[in-house]
Chain A
């Protein structure tokens, strides 16, 4: 059974940093691209970033480019999202998702990031 468990969310001040983690199990982690998708309170889904299975290719939404960095440790089956220069508009529930063929087969339960002073 595929399991994706996000952690690392919390309350952070504007301009601050946070690192999210997603521990994966139940599938061949290195064989899949992984993504972060976020959902602001009461809003829809927004793609944030994607990383290829090998870790060699990264993609970012314009709204986070230059501020967020996606990475993975294939030895630990873990995906990360380093977030810097956080803004109020980054407040959201951040989901880790396993990608296949351009769609998201499996999702974690999310970790909440709140940017507020």
Chain B
């Protein structure tokens, strides 16, 4: 059971907009810690997609955006493309009990 909760799967047609939620608690997202997002294409290492809640690293298209509110965060992808089909993970920091960096369980995005 992951500390951050993501839907196991989402889907959308090419050109559509999809969102992936990441729900935490008062010891992580709700405590003010930043949320970061990664994309993992099949058989490859994760790649940073969004950092600091809503910032895109160089090279990441502006179709990808992040937001955070309260104890949750979201990743939005607009203009869905076939190559967006991948696993997406949120990540934050949790201060309960001991120091730890935490990930969501991951969401499989299927482009229909």
Contacts and interface: CB of A to CB of B under 8 A. Distances in A.
Given A105-B57, A107-B46, A47 B103 contact: yes
Q: How many interface residues does chain A have, given as a range?
A: 20 to 34
Contacts of A46: 103
Interface in B13-62: 33-34, 36, 38, 44-48, 51-52, 57
Contacts of A108: 45
23 contacts: A37-B46, A37-B103, A44-B89, A44-B106, A45-B46, A45-B89, A45-B103, A47-B102, A47-B103, A62-B97, A62-B98, A62-B100, A95-B45, A102-B36, A102-B93, A102-B101, A103-B36, A103-B91, A104-B91, A106-B48, A108-B45, A109-B45, A110-B45
Interface of B: 2, 33-34, 36, 38, 44-48, 51-52, 57, 87, 89, 91-93, 97-106
A104 B93 CA distance: 12
Given A44-B89, A44-B105, A45-B106, A105 B100 contact: no
Nearest to A105: B48
A95 B101 CA distance: 15
A11 interface: no
